[in-house]
């Protein structure tokens, strides 16, 4: 059996380990693995090649993806998807593994439904917002990167009488901000899933600074669009020097953690087995209850654990 793997959308730590384990598991099963470079863009352009063990040697500790990724507007065109399918057929590839988020999964589902291909999706995004999975590849590595930054910022905040507002990524999800705030001991956390009252937050911080607090750390999800407003209000209404730090893409890079490497192995191993099932079309792997699960498209998203929500509510107000 000939299969292929591609990465789509934003990169994340954990993609390279998944690529490595996919190749090794495929070869061990007697299959012929292929790389598709540059995601769906590369699939349309026919950037496909057969690979071996030598192509994945030493990549498990590398962040990002050696086969590169892309966001493809062209893939929304049915004619472009037909070209992509024809390119797979020309290489006799019958199974496609996609690493990416919800948009990547939707693209895979369309391709497989329209052209009778087998496909499997692995959730790989630091946003941790893929339908049907409690955890996505790259999240633990991103949380560790954010945590290191927050620890370093706290050193500076504690050396002065300052407040630092640190903005995290996450698209429409506040998961990164919430978990980072809890694990770093931040005084404020703002996420889109929990309503927050800036008046109440500023009033609380005023009381705490009057009571002896010397500095504060706020972790804010980019989805709230509240970072600049919070900085301004802390500065103007409390009179404390306040700074905004936008972490940006530093959260996505770096060597994957041990947890992401192990999870990548589990996902890739399950994906190779799934692609060998000739009865399937498109499906998606998920991580639920510390186990790998498989579900049909459109399964409901698991909510954040109640304890995290309760902690986030207290930090928000």
Q: Work out the number of other CB atoms within 10 angstroms of the CB of residue 129.
A: 19
The set of residues, in sequence order, having a beta carbon less than 8 Å from that of 50 and lying 6+ positions away, is 32, 33, 34, 91
Question: Of 50, 38, 29, 46, which is closest to residue 8 (Cα–Cα)?
Answer: 38
Residue 178, H or E segment: helix 175-184
Q: Work out the number of other CB atoms within 10 angstroms of the CB of residue 270.
A: 17
Question: Of 267, 242, 246, 240, which is closest to residue 256 (Cα–Cα)?
Answer: 267
Asked whether the beta carbons of 129 and 212 are under 8 A apart, the reply is: no
First to last CA, the chain: 56
> Which of 11, 102, 127, 129 is flagged as catalytic?
127
- The token pair at 106 is 């939707």
47 in active site: no
Q: Work out the number of other CB atoms within 10 angstroms of the CB of residue 277.
A: 11
Residues with a catalytic annotation lie at 127
């Amino acid at each position: 059996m000939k299969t292929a793997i591609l990465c789509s959308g934003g990169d994340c730590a954990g993609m390279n380990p998944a690529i490595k384990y996919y190749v090794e598991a495929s070869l061990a099963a007697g299959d012929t693995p292929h790389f598709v470079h540059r995601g769906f863009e590369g699939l349309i352009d026919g950037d496909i090649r057969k690979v071996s063990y030598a192509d994945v040697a030493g990549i498990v500790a590398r962040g990002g993806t050696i086969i590169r990724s892309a966001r493809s507007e062209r893939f929304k065109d049915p004619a472009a998807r037909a070209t992509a399918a024809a390119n797979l057929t020309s290489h006799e590839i019958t199974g496609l593994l996609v690493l990416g988020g919800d948009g990547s999964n939707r693209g895979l589902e369309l391709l497989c439904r329209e052209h009778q291909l087998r496909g499997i999706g692995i959730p790989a995004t630091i946003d941790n917002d893929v339908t049907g999975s409690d955890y996505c590849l790259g999240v633990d590595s991103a949380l560790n990167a954010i945590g290191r930054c927050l620890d370093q910022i706290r050193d500076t905040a504690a050396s002065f009488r300052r407040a630092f507002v640190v903005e995290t990524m996450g698209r429409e999800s506040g998961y990164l901000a919430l978990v980072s705030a809890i694990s770093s001991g931040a005084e404020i956390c703002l996420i889109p899933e929990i309503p927050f009252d800036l008046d109440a937050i500023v009033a609380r911080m005023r009381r705490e600074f009057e009571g002896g607090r010397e500095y504060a750390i706020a972790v804010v999800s980019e989805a709230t669009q509240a970072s600049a407003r919070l900085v301004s209000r802390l500065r103007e209404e409390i009179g404390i020097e306040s700074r905004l730090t936008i972490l940006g893409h530093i959260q996505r890079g770096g060597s994957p953690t041990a947890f992401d490497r192990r999870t990548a192995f589990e996902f890739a191993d399950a994906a190779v087995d799934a692609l060998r099932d000739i009865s399937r079309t498109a499906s998606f792997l998920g991580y639920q209850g510390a186990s790998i699960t498989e579900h049909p498209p459109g399964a409901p998203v698991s909510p954040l654990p109640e304890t995290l929500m309760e902690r986030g509510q207290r930090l928000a107000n």
